[in-house]
Amino acid sequence: MAIPKVMGVETEYGITVRNQPDFNPILSSLLLINSYETYRAARIRWDYEAESPLRDARGFEYAEEKELPSKEESRLINLILSNGARYYVDHAHPEYSTPECTNPRDLVVWDKAGERILNLSRMRAEAVSPPEQRIVIYKNNTDYKGNSYGCHENYLMDRRTPFTRIAQHLMPFLVTRQVFTGSGKVGSENNTEPCQYQISQRADFLETEVGLETMHSRPIINTRDEPHADPEKYRRLHVIVGDANMSEFTTYVKVGTTAIVLALVEDDAIDRDLSLENPVVAFRGISRDLTCRQPVRLKDGRTLTPIDLQREYLELAHRYYRDRELDPVTKDVLVKWEYVLDRLAEDPMTLTRELDWVIKRDLLEGYAAKYALDWTDPRVAMIDLQYHDIRPGKGLYGKLEEAESVERIVTDDEVVKAMYDPPKDTRAYFRGMCLQRYSEEIVSASWDSIIFDLKEGPLKKIFMLEPLRGTEAFVRQLLEESPTAPDLLRNISKPSVV
């Protein structure tokens, strides 16, 4: 039986500062991170000890020396938030990693909370900056100068599932799901075939089928084997092909359908080979086909449209759940998946309330027609970028949301609460509550551990190797009986595991 699909999203945001001639994205990202206030009175380091980004799911590890930040650098570039998330500087970008969530609806809530956290950071950073310098943050995947940055999804999987099976069955799904997950993009990059507009912002930057890299020679299937959980039981599937989405509906369907397909893979419920002849070529070709009807060739010689190939997975999902109990969210994802495919088959432009790439295309076509602009006009590209601006009153998607012109999945009240509080049904709850209650005694933390310093004796490390423990139901009484950090450590019956 497939294990629950605990999931998360890591989003690298684009950043620039207007009227700053010597703009440095790293320094600006540091200012942003360090302007955000948390519950903590003291800085808590990120614990890099268990991280292994060079370990490959195919069974080997690259022998490169790992350079870890110093303690002071770790404090400067990392925030561990009371909502269970991580907020930090990744290379030249501010990055927000959601806390662990058990379903796509919660993931939308905590993903949108990230946008609010970035914006609050921006406001506080501007308050200590020269008045003419304005920070602009974009939730997108390209600077239109040849540089792509990621929005990575993560899904908990059973370690016993052969990675070859994951790659075989997930590849066609990821290549074709862009018809409902793409954010849309004006033009092309990375020396790829020219176009006026395409579905996916990441398509031009995917160059190989399977591999470990995330910053060059980017693969469709990423092989990073860094579980952030019990490595004997779990793997964390690291999906790097997705676009950063503004639309709640798009994010919801993106992660919801992927979690369903991964359950099918785990339970070996896919009894057909949908392997593509050339996945990289297919990915870029589908991105440029705004009708979503151009067939792609499979290895067995058949041709299917992206919509038809997605229908194959949907049919398998319906069969899989025929005799299984369906939770309300999964049931809703299946309904929306079928709805989207039906509308795409009819006419993609009927989805101007739901899908990012369609919403944006509709805006751009209207703007270009109004001012008689060609798609190569720089003003069209600026409208593309402004769609992803997270500033209230500035970003075009935000204005559509205010006008109730796009579909919502969650409420503003849920998002505001999620800025400060963690999900209740994963280990993120324990992490977040510890940050809220015992921050003075915490010296470092990571996804699967928290280290306490009680000022006497050795440091105390609590491991959290089970993502579905540390929930409110599991630790509520423990926390109630532990007003102080020493109480907590004394009351934990098994100090090595929460």
User: Residue 62: which pLDDT band, with cuts at 50, 70 and 90?
Assistant: low
- pLDDT for the residue numbered 214: 77
Segment 163-171 mean pLDDT = 97
pLDDT at 340 over 60: yes
Q: Which fold has domain 7-38+81-417?
A: Creatine Kinase; Chain A, domain 2 (3.30.590)
For the segment 412-438, the average pLDDT, to the nearest whole number, is 97
Exposed / middle / buried, residue 180 (Cβ in 10 Å: 0-12, 13-18, 19+): buried
What stretch(es) of the chain map to CATH 3.30.590? 7-38+81-417
Nearest in space to 298 (alpha carbons), one of 315, 274, 314, 280: 274
Give the least confident one: 63-67, 189-193, 213-217: 63-67
Helix ranges, 128-247 (H): 163-181
pLDDT tens digits for range 70-82: 666 666 788 999 9
C-alpha triplet 399, 404, 410: angle, nearest 5°: 100
Share of the chain above pLDDT 70, in %: 94
Average pLDDT over residues 109-121: 97
- Confidence band for 140, pLDDT divided at 50, 70 and 90: very high
- HEC string for 325-385: CCCHHHHHHHHHHHHHHHHHHHCHHHCCCCCHHHHHHHHHHHHHHHCCCCCCCHHHHHHHH
Q: Which of 39, 89, 16 is nearest to 432 (CA)?
A: 39
Mean pLDDT of 345-372: 98
- High-pLDDT (> 90) share of the chain, %: 87
pLDDT of residue 142 exceeding 80: yes
Which residues carry out catalysis? 90
Question: Mind listing the pLDDT tens digit for each residue in 87-110?
Answer: 999 989 999 999 999 999 999 999
Mean pLDDT within 192-196: 96
Model confidence band, residue 26 (pLDDT cutoffs 50, 70, 90): very high
pTM (predicted TM-score)? 0.95
Alpha carbon distance 68, 56 (integer Å): 19
The tens digit of pLDDT for each residue in 254-296 reads 999 999 999 999 999 999 999 999 999 999 999 999 999 999 9
